[in-house]
Amino acid sequence: MKIKLQWILFFLIIVLLTIYSVEPEEIKSSPIQLQQYKTIYFLTGKPDTKIQLSFKVQLINKLDLYFAYTQLMMWDVLEPSAPFRDLNYNPDLFYRIFIKKESNRWVDIGIFEHESNGRDGVNSRGWNRAYALFHSTQKIGEHKILWSIKSWFPYSYKNSNPDLPKYRGLWEFQVTVSNMLQSFWGENELNLRLYPGGNYYLNPIAGGQELLFISKTKMTTFAPNFLVGFFHGYGENLIDYNRDRFGIRAGLSF
C-alpha cells in the first residue's frame, strides 16, 4: 500500500488543529472534547518510520469515564512500495479516580483495553487487558517530574500470541522530567518508558526500554516540537513483539 508522505502530514496537521486550536468558549459548548492522550509523533530513522496518533474523550459530563484511542504505525517508507508493515489499534475504556486534583495524582481503572494489528492467520496479533495505573506529578526546583506505573491482567491472547506477556510483561513504568537538559529552542522533556519480560514477566532487561527527548519551540502557537527517540528490546509493535530491536529516530511531535 503506497501512501504519499504529504497525506500523512496533512492528517497529522488536522489532528493537531483539532486538539489545540479550539477556543475556550467553543470547548464549553462542544459536545465532544478531544484531548491528547499519549504523545503524537512522526519519527523517521532506523529501522523504519514510526507514527503515533492518540486522543481521549470524556464520555459523560461530570463523570470521569473516558474512551481513548491510540494507533501506532510502522512504515517501511524506503521500500519500493512504501508499505505500512504493521498497524496497531489500541482502544481503551477507563475510569479516573482523582486522589489530589491540585497535585495531579490519580488512579486510572482500565475497564477494557484492546490491542491488535487487524490481521489474520500467522500474522495475527492481539490481546486484551484490565489494568490499574497510578499517576503523580511532583516539582523539584525548576524541574517538574511526572511518573506513572501501570499494572495489568492480560487475557484473550493465547490463540494468536501465547507468549506475548513474556515480552511485554505485566507492568509498565514511565517518568518524564521537564527541562532536564539545556535546549536551544526552549523548554524540553525527557521521557523514559520501560516494561519487563522474561519467563516470570518481571525482568526489566528482558522487555523494552524507550527514551524520548522532546524540545519545545516557542516560535508560534502551532509550531511542532522536535523529538528524538531511542528504543531497545522487545514488543515495540505487535508484529515484532518477540524480536530484539534497536531503533533510533527523529522527527516532529505535537
Per-position DSSP letters for 147-185, written without gaps between them: EEEEEEEEES-TTT-TTHHHHH-SEEEEEEEET-S--SS
More confident residue, 50 or 4: 50
Instruction: Name the β-bridge partners of 138.
Output: 145
- What pLDDT does 142 receive? 80
Of residues 167, 174, 97, the one with CA closest to residue 125: 167
Cα torsion 55, 190, 244, 115 to 10°: value is -10
Phi-psi category of residue 176: left, alpha or beta, with phi > 0 → left and psi -120 to 50 → alpha:
beta
Q: How many domains does the chain have?
A: 1
> Residues 154, 128: contact at Cβ < 8 Å?
yes
pTM (2 d.p.): 0.85
Element (H, E) at 12: helix 5-20
Instruction: Name the β-bridge partners of 58.
Output: 66
pLDDT tens digits, one per residue of 182-240: 655 578 899 999 999 998 888 988 999 999 999 987 665 567 889 999 999 999 999 99
Taken in order 55, 90, 106, 61, the sign of the CA dihedral is positive
pLDDT tens digits, one per residue of 77-135: 888 888 999 999 999 999 999 997 776 899 999 999 999 999 988 999 999 999 999 99
Taken in order 47, 196, 133, 127, the sign of the CA dihedral is positive
Of residues 113, 27, 33, the one with CA closest to residue 69: 113
DSSP at 57: E
More confident residue, 225 or 1: 225
Q: Which domain holds residue 204?
A: 5-253
Q: What is the CATH number of the domain that holds 99?
A: 2.40.230.10
Judged by DSSP in three states, 65 sits in strand
What average pLDDT does the chain have? 86
Element (H, E) at 128: strand 126-140
All cell numbers assigned to 100: 489530589
User: In sequence order, what are the residues at sequence separation of 6 or more whose Cβ sits closer than 8 angstroms to the Cβ of residue 94?
Assistant: 65, 66, 68, 108, 109, 110, 111, 113, 131, 133
pLDDT tens digits, one per residue of 138-170: 888 788 999 999 999 999 999 889 999 999 999
